[in-house]
Structure 1
């Protein structure tokens, strides 16, 4: 009879002990693997999405909220800023790229972002079909949006006011037309409907069209009066454009000096605020890190308890089966083979518990991914085991092996004659 089969039969003969030991192992492994993967993927996603920008300029408020809303698109904006107020910043010699973004509407929960085409270039977004927007109310759809909503080339839709998927006022007078579908980038671009800034302004400039219609209707006798007042009309239009608002300005620096000097200058000398995405994301991950460490600490305690459970289970099994072990010795099994039998039982229990916990952890990631995808537009990937999980597997095996060795010490003291005579 093979020792591995005998170890398996010994293990399943005590189903309650088996269940408790496996449950403890499963809980600890699933907790650790779940936390490792979530924190790793979250950190990777955040860093990937903030990589194109060094600074965000927006309305006064929480800098973290500004970064979350303007770069990651998972929060509400702190407010709007005047377009003419950021003109000086855009022309600053320390700045390489400054891209204005504006939003406030959604289509079925997906944000409609008004910005320049350069925004797509910074995320290396490429078209899978169609073309980029060229005029107002033309949009390109991110890959995830197009798949989730079934958008195709030439489709039209009406936006709703606000960033929530329900309850907003529909802008039926300004339908958007899909002119292009983007390839998947693995960034926030996949979750957006992107158009030009003018589209966002026109949607929210209620009554402006009527004003222009009245201004365009003239009598024949008014020709000279119109010529006389042409300069005044141009000035009025310039003032009107100066009153345009954007949600924020996304900035990439030419020099590290910009990161040192500009944020402080903006925060102290303007009505706007500057936030550094890298710093804010690091601070956010620091806050989450304390929770991650707490969960990992709890999981480690459970793992040690599971090792104690294996020790108690094997010790109880060896004591209850002293007569069987003595008979095995008579049939030719040596002390070393009996020790291997106990070790195999402990290791088999640890392997089954670890694999069960790993699969439960991955199932939990899948379940959480469904929620985060619907709520925030970010999904988690189901990946194979990484280095940390392989290290955890080694630790689990070591704890199980140590527990089995400690429980098997009595095998070396087994007196075959005395044990069988007492039976």
Structure 2
């Protein structure tokens, strides 16, 4: 009889023990897989979304909140800043590019951003359909927005104040969809882009005169706006924006500009590199706790496999002795026990990997926030091979002592005792 068939029959003979050992290990592997996939993809998204942005300038408050709101668009603004004061830093000799952002409204929880074409160019966005926004109340929407809201070119919609559903709706002003962006796997997929003047018009008092339609003068390439928003007279002291995204002209900007903004103005400067490092450290605490729990499960499953194999030897001593008397070598008995532990961990590992990917596939299909974050259950990493190899090694280690006991089986004593 083949050693593989023999091992398989032994496992089938104890279905409850086999199932418990496989499930214990698979749960631990599934938790590790989910954490690996979620953590790696989230870190990659955070890094990609912050790439090309050296500094965020906005209202004073929490620097991390400033970054979360204006780069990742998952928090509320710290406030607004005067356009006049923002322009002062936009024209600084150390600034290569300054991109204005005006926030405040949303549509079906998708944030509407008043900005320039340079913001789309920052993420190398391209059009899937239609055109870029050009006039006040024109919008170009991200791929997820188009897919989940079913907006298409030519559709009109009214924005709601704030991010949550149920806010005050600006029914007097309707946005019109001019274009849909290709998927960029960045924050742009979840945004509705327009010009800054559109955001201002939405929040004008009813008695104010309507703005005329303005063409956006900012080109799709790098620019140093003067002023930041083309339709406002230089030095306007009334208009406000939410923040500016700044790129440095030289490394000297990283040394001088944040200190200049924080000490010589009412504004706040936050470094995406520094704040995202803080964010990773905060996230890391929770990930480490869950990872520790997963390792505990794996260690428990290893002990369970060891106990199951060790106890089974008492029941199989006679079988092993018969095998030896029929010509099976000590090595064959040793290998069969090692193989049994390896097969248990192999099944548990494969099931755990499948469960981990399956959970993320279900989450991305059922939970909109997971889909917005771009978490994909069909992504595979090389570390998963390490998980699989480590699990097989654990199974072999758990089976070593029972295998040695099988190797030392004394035929004469066992048969004489039975």
Q: TM-score, normalised by structure 1?
A: 0.90
Aligned residue in 1 for 2:178: 179
1:383 shift after superposition:
3.5
Aligned partners of 2:82 and 2:237 also within 8 Å: yes
Matched, 1:122 2:122: yes
Instruction: Find the aligned partners of 1:267 and 1:98 in 2 and give their Cα distance.
Output: 17
5 Å matches for 1:115-154? Answer: 115-154=115-154
Instruction: Find the aligned partners of 2:331 and 2:370 in 1 and give their Cα distance.
Output: 58
1:239 shift after superposition:
8.9
Instruction: Find the aligned partners of 1:162 and 1:413 in 2 and give their Cα distance.
Output: 74
RMSD between aligned residues: 1.9
5 Å matches for 1:194-205? Answer: 194-205=193-204
Q: 1:401 aligns with which of 387, 396, 402?
A: 396
- Cα distance, 1:239–1:401 mapped onto 2, change above 3 Å: closer
1:371 shift after superposition:
6.7
1:207 shift after superposition:
2.5
Aligned partners of 1:74 and 1:376 also within 8 Å: no
Instruction: Find the aligned partners of 2:371 and 2:400 in 1 and give their Cα distance.
Output: 49
Instruction: Find the aligned partners of 1:291 and 1:35 in 2 and give their Cα distance.
Output: 10
Aligned residue in 1 for 2:341: 346
Aligned residue in 2 for 1:388: 383
Query: What secondary structure is seen at the aligned counterpart in 1 of 2:72?
Result: coil
5 Å matches for 1:226-241? Answer: 238=233, 241=236
- Cα distance, 1:376–1:76 mapped onto 2, change above 3 Å: farther
Aligned residue in 1 for 2:106: 106
5 Å matches for 1:319-330? Answer: 319-330=314-325
- Cα distance, 1:253–1:279 mapped onto 2, change above 3 Å: same
Matched, 1:10 2:10: yes
- Cα distance, 1:336–1:268 mapped onto 2, change above 3 Å: same
Query: What secondary structure is seen at the aligned counterpart in 1 of 2:339?
Result: helix
1:52 shift after superposition:
2.2
1:372 shift after superposition:
6.1
5 Å matches for 1:305-384? Answer: 305-370=300-365, 373-374=368-369, 377-384=372-379
Instruction: Find the aligned partners of 1:414 and 1:240 in 2 and give their Cα distance.
Output: 93
Aligned residue in 1 for 2:57: 57
Instruction: Find the aligned partners of 2:369 and 2:394 in 1 and give their Cα distance.
Output: 40
Instruction: Find the aligned partners of 1:238 and 1:347 in 2 and give their Cα distance.
Output: 74
Q: Deviations over 1:53-96 (max 9, x none)?
A: 11001111101101111111011101111101111101101100
Instruction: Find the aligned partners of 1:147 and 1:386 in 2 and give their Cα distance.
Output: 28
Aligned residue in 1 for 2:20: 20
Instruction: Find the aligned partners of 1:189 and 1:9 in 2 and give their Cα distance.
Output: 55
Aligned residue in 1 for 2:223: none
Aligned partners of 1:139 and 1:193 also within 8 Å: yes
Q: Deviations over 1:179-217 (max 9, x none)?
A: 11111111111101100000000110122535899xxxx
Instruction: Find the aligned partners of 2:14 and 2:324 in 1 and give their Cα distance.
Output: 23
Matched, 1:158 2:158: yes
Matched, 1:170 2:169: yes
Matched, 1:299 2:299: no
Aligned residue in 2 for 1:218: none
Number of residue-to-residue matches in the alignment:
399
Q: Deviations over 1:392-414 (max 9, x none)?
A: 22211111111112111122321
Instruction: Find the aligned partners of 2:211 and 2:397 in 1 and give their Cα distance.
Output: 83
Matched, 1:30 2:30: yes
Query: What secondary structure is seen at the aligned counterpart in 1 of 2:268?
Result: strand
Aligned residue in 2 for 1:222: none
Matched, 1:268 2:263: yes
Aligned partners of 1:318 and 1:408 also within 8 Å: no
Instruction: Find the aligned partners of 1:371 and 1:291 in 2 and give their Cα distance.
Output: 24
Instruction: Find the aligned partners of 1:42 and 1:178 in 2 and give their Cα distance.
Output: 30
Aligned residue in 2 for 1:228: none
Instruction: Find the aligned partners of 1:385 and 1:69 in 2 and give their Cα distance.
Output: 30
Instruction: Find the aligned partners of 1:271 and 1:376 in 2 and give their Cα distance.
Output: 37
1:240 shift after superposition:
9.4
Aligned residue in 2 for 1:96: 96
Instruction: Find the aligned partners of 1:379 and 1:14 in 2 and give their Cα distance.
Output: 43
1:20 shift after superposition:
2.3
Q: Deviations over 1:6-53 (max 9, x none)?
A: 101111212232122112211211111111111111110000001021
Query: What secondary structure is seen at the aligned counterpart in 2 of 1:61?
Result: coil
Aligned partners of 1:153 and 1:178 also within 8 Å: yes
1:238 shift after superposition:
4.8
